[in-house]
Amino acid sequence: MENLTPVTILIPAYNEEPRIADVLDVVCEYKRPKRIIVIDDGSEDNTYQEAQKYPVEVLRHEENRGKGAALQTGIDHGGKSPLWLFLDADLINLNENHMETLLTPLEQDKSLGMTVGMFVSGGKTNVDLAQRYFSILNGQRGLAGFFIESLPSLNWARFGVEIFLSRLAKKNGVPTAEPLLANITHHTKEEKYGFRRGFVYRLQMYKECLYSYFNWQKYC
């Protein structure tokens, strides 16, 4: 992978102690020139300590501020970068090809501002269907530096941050692509926290997404 464009990889994480190692094991071996920044969004477990075991930069919010704020903290800390990659901390079966699939279109077409990864055949039908029909919510994204530099603050967005990013790209006429990511999925909230607590978290996520969907223009 010589002569490839460097990338800054942001991994927001909240209570992902049992899962983040599976992602960092892969990301740290990625051959592309890279800078890896984990943002611990006020975790109540040992996510921060787990991330510190790896050759990455680890930032921490003292309290949970939401995914949008975590990404904004990473962007502010990262400074300028020609390419960015946003990855969730609970991915299953992530590999180098998935990351290249998100980034290569941005190198091949300099007008592209963002790629949005689409899970296919990941082994969880509900996750695959959600990715297919609600791609605006997908969290695995590659972003060109020029698009990142044009963004307003993401601090308000929480789980609605992906909606905000997609709406901003459309509003500003920034081309996007939706490459397919095969054989990858993520842990559901019910799997992570148990059915009752996971269901509550899911309702909160939907609430934040709906708020972003109907109010994103206030924050442009």
Residue 170, C-beta contacts closer than 8 angstroms, at least 6 positions apart: none
Q: What is the dihedral of CA 52, 54, 57, 63, to 10 degrees?
A: -40
Residue 123 pLDDT exceeds 80: no
pLDDT confidence of residue 201: 84
Residue 133 pLDDT exceeds 50: no
Is 48 contained in some domain? yes
Is 50 contained in some domain? yes
Is 29 contained in some domain? yes
Looking at the structure of the chain, the number of domains it has is: 1
Is 1 contained in some domain? no
Is 2 contained in some domain? no
Is 81 contained in some domain? yes
Write the pLDDT tens digit of every residue in 30-69.
999 999 999 999 999 999 999 999 999 999 999 999 999 9
Is 44 contained in some domain? yes
CATH of the domain at 207: 3.90.550.10
Range of the domain at 199: 7-219
